[in-house]
Amino acid sequence: MTLISFIISLLTLLPMQSLPYSVAHRGCHIKGYIPENSPDGVAMAKRYGFRAIECDVHYTRDNQLIIMHDRTINRTMVNASDLSPIAQPVEYAKTDLAELRSKYVLASSDPAKRRPIPTFAEELEACKKYGIIPMMHTPHFEAYKMAKKVLGDNFIAFCGQYDSLKQVRTLSKNCLILWDPDMAPADEVVRKLKELGGPCGVTSMRDYLLTADYIKTMRDAGFEVQSSIFKTPLEVESIAKGATYVLSDFCLFPFKPVKMVKKLAASARSLQAGERLTFTGKKLQYGSLELSIDVKGDVEVIVNGKRHYQFKDAQSVKRLGSWRFYDRQPTVEIIANTASVVNQLDIKEYKY
């Protein structure tokens, strides 16, 4: 059995209730419109049906907590005076908050979203307002103290500094803690997580670490497993292997019912090598696609022109994946690399 065959065979056994907990990476941002790491990204997460957003928390020079991913503000912000690009690197750690907020705004096509650099307090208030759980990627204890004050135990601690996470556990017995253990052996990770206590687990950006055996070891010990920012098709593979959390820019498994606006299904049919099936959905401002497939042969599935998934031999998938999109007409293409048979295809489009 090939690796992809093994992954897909796992997916056939994945019940709906076992689908992972979706976390919107840097908030539910939309390029050019909804800035990442912003209160507007929290509001958009609510719209799409996410339960949690990830945010990066750092200190300014005058020890004020802000949210920003990069070391500088240049990629995501512009000059407030004329919306021009920022010419010289501006490091928040070397700049006072007042200067950051008076000179620069987040880049967006919507004037209402061109906000000053968000403070962590503003992000927490947005999470409280919209009922979204913040996953804080930071070792700074002061950030967790603020979250505890505003949200109680409804926050997630997320970093690679184990000692920092132990300190967080003294603050909250019931918040979820996700530790990035780097390449520590699985038995050592289990031992340290047991020592940490409470709801906890591992997170990793290393797809080669999160093997099926590694994930099973963690889950059998009662711990969560998060795949972090996995690229296509690795996000599907991590779900198949048993990841319980998915931190992603595009994966979406909403926790509440949403309106299905279109269903596309193909009856069983044979495809010649090189033959292509194309399915086009309804253009929506805020939508998602969900796809399941049962195929025999060698085919490639392309979602929205950029997410490529390869299938070989006889493979059934109960639910391949779910992807959010913005202001577009979604598409699914199936390309037969060899003579193949599509036994069943189920594509659902949802509106938010």
pLDDT in tens, the chain (352 residues): 333 333 333 333 333 346 899 999 999 999 999 999 999 999 999 999 999 999 999 999 999 999 999 999 999 999 999 999 999 999 999 999 999 999 999 999 999 999 999 999 999 999 999 999 999 999 999 999 999 999 999 999 999 999 999 999 999 999 999 999 999 999 999 999 999 999 999 999 999 999 999 999 999 999 999 999 999 999 988 998 999 999 999 999 988 889 999 998 777 889 999 999 999 999 999 999 999 888 889 999 999 999 999 888 755 666 678 999 999 999 999 999 999 998 888 999 999 9
Other beta carbons within 10 angstroms of residue 62's beta carbon come to 11
Sign of CA dihedral 218, 223, 224, 230: negative
229 and 102 inside one domain: yes
269 and 231 housed in the same domain: no
Domain total in the chain? 2
In whole angstroms, give the CA distance from residue 160 to residue 25.
17
Task: Look at residue 312 in the predicted model and tell me its pLDDT.
Answer: 80
Helical (H) or strand (E) element with 196: helix 186-196
- Please report, rounded to a whole number, the percentage of residues in the chain having pLDDT higher than 90: 83
**Do residues 242 and 297 both lie within one domain?**
no
In a domain, 9, yes or no: no
**Pair (74, 154) in one structural domain:** yes
Quick check: is 198 in a domain?
A: yes
173 and 311, same domain (yes or no): no
> Cα separation of 322 and 283, whole Å?
17
pLDDT tens by residue, 186-245: 999 999 999 999 999 999 999 999 999 999 999 999 999 999 999 999 998 899 899 999
User: Does residue 168 sit within a domain?
Assistant: yes
| Residue 346, in any domain of the structure | yes
Residue 250 contacts residue 229 (beta carbons within 8 Å): no
Q: What is the pLDDT of residue 287?
A: 97
Q: Are residues 93 and 237 in the same domain?
A: yes
In a domain, 343, yes or no: yes
* CATH number of residue 85's parent domain: 3.20.20.190
Q: Is residue 10 part of a domain?
A: no
Same domain as 131, residue 186: yes
Q: Which amino acid would we find at residue 63?
A: N
Is 299 in contact with 337 (CB distance < 8 Å)? yes
- Indicate if 78 and 25 belong to the same structural domain: yes
The SS3 of residue 40 is helix
Label residues 165-194 b or e (16+ Cβ within 10 Å = b). beebbeebeebbbbbbbeebebeebbebbe
The predicted model scores a pTM of 0.91
Main-chain dihedrals φ then ψ at residue 267, nearest 5 degrees = -70, 165
Q: Are residues 177 and 237 in the same domain?
A: yes
Residues 309, 223, single domain; the answer is no
Domain boundary among 248, 276, 308: 248
DSSP characters over 134-159: EEEE---HHHHHHHHHHHTT--EEEE
Structural domain boundaries enclosing 149: 19-248
CA atoms within 13 A on the CB side of 17: 0
